[in-house]
Structure 1
Amino acid sequence: MALDSEKLPVSRFSTRELPGTDSFEAWRQSIGVMFEAQIFPGSEPSADFHAEVEAYHLGDLVFGTAVLDAQRLCRGARRIHADQLDHVLLQVYRSGGQRGDFAGTPFCVEPGELFVLDLTRSFDTLASRAHITNLVVPRECLESRRPLRDIHGRILRGGLGSLFGDYLNALEQRLPQLHLDEAGDVARATVDLLGACLNPSLDSFEQARQPIEAGQLNRIKGAIEQALADPGLSPQWLCRQLGLSRSRLYRLFEPLGGVAAYIRQRRLERIHGQLCQPHEQRHIGVIAYQWGFADEAHFSRAFRHHFGYSPSEARELRWASSGRGTRATQVDAAGYEQWIRQLGS
């Protein structure tokens, strides 16, 4: 298969097409790069086991999401000695959770919590059916500025956990559009922010200020997208919904021309997309009203100013935006295992 060198490499694994007798064994071999997987106590060994994993290679990092059935996961002294992985694994349970033992210390992880694994130390857990976000980081990347202390089994709760969780959410949404030449900058920003959350200090948070603000900005952009058709969408509404001060909101959007301008731009782009759809026959004013423009003349002027042509000209051209993107690189599950082994080398 030809590879698109512009997009980030992506690796996908699924047991969907495998019979029940083979599905868990396929998963056991795949996750074996880090853990020993076992059937969840009380489950039938022959029962269907479902696992879906998608991972992106970000140069110095591997970012992944997974939907997995319940299982037992272990990492003992023999495995640690054999594979010599010196990575830090951060996991966020979007749903489900786990309980077990971190090198002799009991723990319990609930949905929404972030927890950290040091792959040079032992680990034994019972994990429920779950949707998980994973981030694998070589230790040398995290310790390039400050040594890590007592991170194994740490659960990031409260503001720091929410902050990094929001950032990972935003990153997950944008990875399919990222290009290889952006991977290094994204990896550095991610490591800076994670390091600041694990070792809070004035210096570390100053280093992480940019990715912190980027994560918050992406969270606000997500709220705008959800409410774009709501005529009540405004800076005041965003401040109330997201618990932001007006000055903070305005400062974040200042490089984008202001929050009101950004909302208007996104509405115009949504309208443009609809006008370019071959089967969209509604009056232009009706479409504009749907996206918050009460005055058709004002809308037409704003549209022409933004795109350089009128709404009616856009409709005539029927530019189909759906074919512009390029397809992400597709590699098999073996790619993920090789990436983990080669991180930091």
Structure 2
Amino acid sequence: MKYTVQQDGSGSAASDWRRAVSTTYFPLDVEFRNTNSFRGTLEGWSLGDIAISRNSCDGLLYRRHRRHFLQETDSSLLITIPELAEVGFSQGSRSTSCAPGGFLVERGDAPYEFWHGKPNSLWVLKAPSALVRSRIGPTDRIAALNFDATSGVASYFVDMVRTTGAHVDHLSPSAREAAGLHLLELLCLSIRSDERVLDSNVSSIRAAHLHRAEQYIRDNLKDPDLGPAQVAEACGISLRYLQRLFSEREQSIIGFIRDKRLNRCAEELRAARAVSVAEIAYRWGFSDQSRFSRLYRTRFGCTPTETRRAAAAEREAGGGGAA
């Protein structure tokens, strides 16, 4: 999809742009730096559950209010990559800015303000919060943070967003979905090592141990033998200490591993891939098919097959993308 908005004297530019950004991202209020001469172009592409877009426009201010998301059941993150000028962002108690050479994380399930005073071009990746959470933990820890993308995997991530945008029109639906998942993995790799995402509700040392244990679990979910003893040994802490860290979160280690595995199974079941339910369950550490089905129903209120059918119906109706 592509939108081009230019003031033509009818006063329609403001409503046209508001409609374009609300369709591409989610509902927002917009204030224009110069309403009478505003111009903007926005183009977006669906990559399965992920979406990317590029917008170029004059200075403006976006406001996301609570009323905009009260009826929303699924939350999303926006990852903004400025190209020409600095952008500003404020959400909750955090305020920051992001210049070209970095990227900014915005939560869609909390009020915020986003602005740039000068004409700017932005690449934006939209990702369901649940997909990011299954890979790096709670997303509130990364909201309103900006990340340096001038080197390392973050630079690779930003380059791949631009490259994907340049080639996406020539990709098949399955290739688009694969590209979206690749961008998601690169995004999570870019931010997971930043110490700012550690849980501030516990001491820094305990937070570091817990964060390391959780990430080890996420990285090794496919290992059918993954268990508390293996996690404790890999993290260099005692099993008793590890169990105490999780008990403070009111969840057992076994329960954490099980829930993360079920989340990844649900993610794959919603994808348009010709893989059987049994294969997906086995891939994520469930060797007993009947037990997997019981656990899945308990967690999600439906069977794995029902999840797959519902996702297929959404795709057929044109609602399978994130854009």
Same fold (TM over 0.5): yes
1:118 paired with 2:107, answer: yes
Pair 79,130 (structure 1): closer, same or farther in 2 beyond 3 Å:
same
Q: Which has the larger radius of gyration?
A: 1
Q: Which residue of 2 aligns with 1:190?
A: 183
Among residues 127, 131, 134, which one is paired with 1:137 in the alignment?
A: 127
* Corresponding residue SS for 2:81: strand
* Corresponding residue SS for 2:167: helix
Q: Distance in 1 between matches of 2:30 and 2:136?
A: 33
Q: Which residue of 2 aligns with 1:56?
A: 45
Pair 203,95 (structure 1): closer, same or farther in 2 beyond 3 Å:
farther
Amino acid at match of 2:138: L
Amino acid at match of 1:157: D
1:102 paired with 2:91, answer: yes
Pair 184,125 (structure 1): closer, same or farther in 2 beyond 3 Å:
closer
Query: What is the CA RMSD across the aligned residues, in angstroms?
Result: 3.0
Pair 175,82 (structure 1): closer, same or farther in 2 beyond 3 Å:
same
Q: CA deviation at 1:73?
A: 0.6
Q: Which residue of 1 aligns with 2:60?
A: 71
Deviations 1:283-336 (A, max 9, x none): xxxxxxxxxxxxxxxxxxxxxxxxxxxxxxxxxxxxxxxxxxxxxxxxxxxxxx
Pair 173,205 (structure 1): closer, same or farther in 2 beyond 3 Å:
farther
Runs of 4 or more above 4 Å deviation:
201-207, 341-344
Q: Which residue of 2 aligns with 1:273?
A: none
Q: Which residue of 1 aligns with 2:27?
A: 34
CA contact (8 A) 1:85 1:119 kept: no
Amino acid at match of 1:154: L
CA contact (8 A) 1:193 1:205 kept: no
Amino acid at match of 1:142: V
Pair 24,177 (structure 1): closer, same or farther in 2 beyond 3 Å:
same
Q: Distance in 1 between matches of 2:17 and 2:128?
A: 23
Amino acid at match of 1:29: R
CA contact (8 A) 1:55 1:62 kept: yes
1:177 paired with 2:177, answer: no
Pair 181,100 (structure 1): closer, same or farther in 2 beyond 3 Å:
closer
Q: Which residue of 2 aligns with 1:156?
A: 147
TM-score w.r.t. length of structure 1: 0.52
CA contact (8 A) 1:148 1:199 kept: no
Q: CA deviation at 1:86?
A: 0.2
Structure with the bigger RCO (C-alpha within 8 Å, sep 6+) is: 1
Q: CA deviation at 1:184?
A: 2.2
Q: CA deviation at 1:169?
A: 2.1
Amino acid at match of 2:67: R
Percent same amino acid at aligned positions? 13
Pair 144,125 (structure 1): closer, same or farther in 2 beyond 3 Å:
closer
Amino acid at match of 1:23: A
Q: Distance in 2 between matches of 1:139 and 1:66?
A: 22
Q: Distance in 2 between matches of 1:16 and 1:116?
A: 28
Pair 100,194 (structure 1): closer, same or farther in 2 beyond 3 Å:
closer
Q: CA deviation at 1:125?
A: 2.7
What runs of 5+ residues in structure 2 fail to find an aligned partner? 194-211, 221-316
Amino acid at match of 1:48: S
Pair 69,85 (structure 1): closer, same or farther in 2 beyond 3 Å:
farther
Q: CA deviation at 1:203?
A: 6.2
Q: Which residue of 1 aligns with 2:11?
A: 21
* Corresponding residue SS for 2:48: coil
* Corresponding residue SS for 1:145: helix
Q: CA deviation at 1:135?
A: 0.6
Counterparts of 1:1-345 in structure 2 under 5 Å? Answer: 11-16=1-6, 18-19=8-9, 21-32=11-22, 33-40=26-33, 43=34, 45=35, 47-128=36-117, 129-149=119-139, 150-158=141-149, 159=151, 160-200=153-193
Pair 20,70 (structure 1): closer, same or farther in 2 beyond 3 Å:
farther
Q: Which moved more, 1:109-118 or 1:15-24?
A: 15-24
TM-score w.r.t. length of structure 2: 0.55
